[in-house]
Amino acid sequence: MAISSSSSVPLLSLNTVSSSSSFPFSLSCVRPQSRRNQRLVVSCSSSETDSGSDSLNGNGRHSQMSSMTPFGVTMNEAGLSRPPYKWRRVLLKVSGEALAGDHTQNIDPKVTMEIAREVASVTRLGIEVAIVVGGGNIFRGASWAGSSGLDRSSADYIGMLATVMNSIFLQATMESIGIPTRVQTAFRMSEVAEPYIRRRAVRHLEKGRVVIFAAGTGNPFFTTDTAAALRGAEINAEVVLKATNVDGVYDEDPRCNPNACLLDTLTYQEVTSKDLSVMDMTAITLCQENKIPVVVFNLNKPGNISKAIKGEKVGTLIGAAWNSTVAPRT
């Protein structure tokens, strides 16, 4: 692929150090380590079909639908042990930039294999993983708009197609090591991937499949960070894990000041009021409105992806606090 892209490494800096953070919602939901293995209900409903029942609660981040009998009697999961992991359903955002590795090629197969291996290790634990893949390693609409008469919308559609290329590459890598994976695209490309259908995506996750959301939001003028926040909210993910090339959010730019401190936690307000480039404003606002915390962490350090997915302390946590429910470090 010969199309070049501008590479913008996000500047994750904050002038005023603040480790205060609010924890605006409860993470007290109980879920068995492997819902697929420990499900109590023998149901004669249609919930076992691919496009089956909606296990989401429109308002909360958790739902009891998957543990309800066809007659609406809720099965109490309290008797089952809580998994030792902070999250049970995560949305992992991988930028195209990160996929490029050392930039010898647009995509570095070593990077996709590392992601696949780490995701495999957590799906075995029963944690449900959805992924939004960026496309900046191949094409960024904003960088190309205007050149050669390319209007922004057309450029953005090309950018969205780039995310599909990355998604199919990642899917193939995952399946090469035995992880069942589905790609769902925001606009129809039915010969290569499923269309995005929220309920079907949730069902795939419940069945232990990894779901990769491709083509961003399907709309120009948006980013895959916003797609991550949007899909995260739609599938009731408990966290958006933003994999980057830096360790997290610093109090100052670490490239200018080697003594800059990596921040443990931040509030959404701190991110927006300081105009930090952690995520674009639409994405962070969407996370804030839907009370979805965001973890910013370094994808390039081995083990970080699985740590982040398991809820272990890695990088910077926005909109929540590392607390006692965080799994012990391994």
Asked if 217 interacts with ligand UDP (CB under 6 A), we say yes
Q: In what order do the strands lie in the sheet with 265-266?
A: 194-195, 181-185, 210-214, 128-133, 89-94, 239-244, 294-298, 316-318, 265-266
Least Å from the CB of residue 57 to ligand UDP: 26
- Of 208, 216, 232, 319, which lies in the binding site for ligand UDP, with binding defined by CB under 6 A? 216
- Of 21, 55, 171, 224, which lies in the binding site for ligand UDP, with binding defined by CB under 6 A? 224
Instruction: Judge contact between 301 and 318, C-beta under 8 A.
Output: no
Asked if 141 interacts with ligand UDP (CB under 6 A), we say yes
Question: Exposed, middle or buried: residue 244 (CB in 10 Å: 0-12, 13-18, 19+)?
Answer: buried
**Could you give the 3-state DSSP secondary structure of residue 182?**
strand
- Of 140, 204, 209, 307, which lies in the binding site for ligand UDP, with binding defined by CB under 6 A? 140
Least Å from the CB of residue 110 to ligand UDP: 18
Distance from C-alpha of 92 to C-alpha of 222, rounded to nearest angstrom: 18
Binding-site residue total for ligand UDP (CB under 6 A)?
25
Residue span 161-190 as binding mask against ligand UDP, x where in contact by CB under 6 A, dash where not: -xx---------------------------
Q: Which is nearer to ligand UDP, 13 or 224 (CB)?
A: 224
Asked if 135 interacts with ligand UDP (CB under 6 A), we say yes
Asked if 134 interacts with ligand UDP (CB under 6 A), we say yes
Distance from C-alpha of 170 to C-alpha of 161, rounded to nearest angstrom: 14
Distance from C-alpha of 314 to C-alpha of 270, rounded to nearest angstrom: 19
Least Å from the CB of residue 147 to ligand UDP: 13
The two counts, helices (H) then strands (E), for the chain are: 10, 9
Least Å from the CB of residue 113 to ligand UDP: 19
Angle 12-128-170 from CA coordinates, rounded to 5°? 65
Residue nearest to ligand UDP (CB): 134
Applying CB under 6 A, which residues contact ligand UDP? 95-97, 134-136, 140-142, 155-156, 159-160, 162-163, 216-217, 219-220, 222-227
